[in-house]
Amino acid sequence: MYQVTNPATGELLAEYPMATDAEIANAVGRAHEAYLSWRETPITERARLVKRAAEIFGERAEELSAIITREMGKRIDESRGELQIVQEIFTYYAENGPTLVADEALAIQGGNAVVQKRPIGALIGIMPWNYPYYQVARFAAPNLVLGNTIILKHARNCPESAAAIESVLHDAGIPADAYINVYASAEQIASMLADPRVQGVSLTGSERAGSAVAMEAGRNLKKVVLELGGSDPLVLLDSSDLDKTVGIAVDARMGNNGQACNAPKRMIVMDGMYDEFVAKMTERMSAFEPGDPADPSTTLAPLSSQAAADELVEQIADAVAKGATLHTGGTHIQGPGAFVAPAVLTGVTKDMDAYYGELFGPAVVIYRATSEEEAIELANDTVYGLGSGVFSDDLERARRVGERIEAGMVYINAAGGSQADLPFGGIKRSGVGRELGPLGMEEFMNKKIVRL
């Protein structure tokens, strides 16, 4: 079953039945048939409908925000913020899509040629619970404008928001079979990928899920985009305003209660500021208060589930048992709901799961560095390579260090983030491919060469 369980109370609110195999097969057939006509719809019309979808997301923002606060415990102001970037993404591709897919002339010897940018067919989207609307938007918006059709499998704890997205898109005028929501199983995903009418798959989620989907996609020679985990470093080289820098670091780490792939999870601080940074970070992290995520005054939301809370507490306990120092938090908060007190860890070493593993929740690990070289080595000592942040009053110094960080994204004097016109993605075990911006339009595109 797909279930809505309020993580703030543990109350089961609704259940949705899994799709049958026949329903899944029917969805693939419908998406393929819709593609044959959707690709022929003028791109200006496709863009107009996507723009209307952006408007409806805005019109229904309060209703949609309340849904994800119930489903996965996001604080209501952050839920509203998620709807804002969703509108920006749909608007960006609606307004820029026709230009992004315009034919591109090539200068070649002995003639002329153009690159025609065309859709490829029906796609599968496998989306996570941590940003139920945003993650779908950055996959769906560019591909609908391009002319692909979509079969969307959302996380099992987000069935209500999954249905709400489908309703918005259909109400905007996008054909019912051009975007189909399915409550599918992992086995059914494999069967869809084996169908020759499906041309690709995009997954945002765990490394384990990404590996499984990539294996099935490879077996069936299907294009794949993966946005997986991250253990992003924040490198603090110097600061003339440490309070401000700590504030940025805390806000970035605690956004979505720490449940963000590109949040800074490892903070690497130069020796001269280390002790003061740890003290200020501990003070700030200790100040969060749990409460109802639907109440705007709440500062600490629950994790998405009790299982997620248990996993985070176990990772922290493992580190402490092996010699790490826990400065604050790291334990369950008594009472109903999946609440964990925000944690600050130091002294984490390679024999601890917290060193290489991803802490997906309100916890941060702080390391001391005695030189730029050591800071860079620590930043790159990870299996992941999603984002990173480098802080310094000397921009040239920050750029120099940032160039040596092995990641898909480097932010100077900022910690992570996302915007519609800026490509997003990583390297190493953080995945393959890019979303958002002009590059996000190209992943499931047939760049067809026509030689004259």
Instruction: State the Cα–Cα distance between residues 17 and 27, nearest whole angstrom.
Output: 16
Contacts 24+ apart (CB under 8 A), 158-161: 158/2, 158/68, 158/71, 158/72, 158/127, 158/129, 158/132, 159/2, 159/3, 159/4, 159/14, 159/16, 159/183, 160/4, 160/14, 160/67, 160/70, 160/71, 161/64, 161/67, 161/68, 161/71, 161/132, 161/133
Which tokens belong to 448? Answer: 């067809």
Those residues of the chain that have pLDDT short of 50 are: none
Which amino acid makes up residue 228?
L
312: closest CA among 381, 260, 380, 358? 358
Q: Identify whether the C-beta of residue 149 lies closer than 8 Å to the C-beta of residue 35.
A: yes
> How far is residue 190 CA from its own chain's centroid?
22
> For 131, which DSSP code?
S
69: closest CA among 232, 287, 293? 293
Neighbouring residues of 20: CB distance < 8 A, sequence distance ≥ 6: none
pLDDT of residue 41: 98
Which tokens belong to 69? Answer: 């606060």
Measured in residues, the chain has a length of 452
pLDDT of residue 431: 97
Q: Identify whether the C-beta of residue 391 lies closer than 8 Å to the C-beta of residue 236.
A: yes
> For 290, which DSSP code?
B
Q: In terms of DSSP bridges, do strands 384-385 and 389-391 run parallel, antiparallel, or are they unpaired? A: unpaired
Q: What are the angstrom distances between the C-alpha of 220 and each of 63, 110, 182, 188, 201?
A: 40, 37, 21, 14, 11
206 conformational bin, left if phi > 0, alpha if psi -120 to 50, beta if neither: beta
Q: Identify whether the C-beta of residue 435 lies closer than 8 Å to the C-beta of residue 423.
A: yes
pLDDT of residue 359: 97
CB 288: neighbour CB atoms within 10 A? 20
Which tokens belong to 433? Answer: 């491919």
pTM over 0.95: yes
What is the residue-wise DSSP string for 330-370? -SBPSSSS--B--EEEES--TTSHHHHS---SSEEEEEEES
Q: Is 176 exposed, middle or buried (0-12, 13-18, 19+ CB in 10 A)?
A: exposed
Q: How many CA atoms lie within 13 A of 408 on its CB side?
A: 30
Which amino acid makes up residue 273?
M
Handedness of CA 149, 442, 385, 428 (dihedral sign): positive
Which tokens belong to 262? Answer: 């590109």
284 conformational bin, left if phi > 0, alpha if psi -120 to 50, beta if neither: alpha
Helix then strand count (H, E) for the chain reads 14, 20
418: closest CA among 260, 249, 232? 260
> How far is residue 447 CA from its own chain's centroid?
26
Instruction: State the Cα–Cα distance between residues 385 and 232, nearest whole angstrom.
Output: 7
Active site residues: 227, 261
Instruction: State the Cα–Cα distance between residues 80 and 103, nearest whole angstrom.
Output: 37
- Bridge partner residues of 449 (DSSP): 115
Instruction: State the Cα–Cα distance between residues 144 and 137, nearest whole angstrom.
Output: 10
pLDDT of residue 417: 86
pLDDT of residue 444: 98
Q: Identify whether the C-beta of residue 336 lies closer than 8 Å to the C-beta of residue 8.
A: yes
Q: What are the angstrom distances between the C-alpha of 23 and each of 20, 35, 246?
A: 5, 18, 51
pLDDT of residue 416: 82
Enumerate domains of the chain plus CATH numbers: 2-228+430-451 (3.40.605.10), 232-420 (3.40.309.10)
Instruction: State the Cα–Cα distance between residues 229 and 227, nearest whole angstrom.
Output: 7
Instruction: State the Cα–Cα distance between residues 441 and 119, nearest whole angstrom.
Output: 10
> How far is residue 156 CA from its own chain's centroid?
16
- In a 3-state reduction of DSSP, which class is residue 97? helix
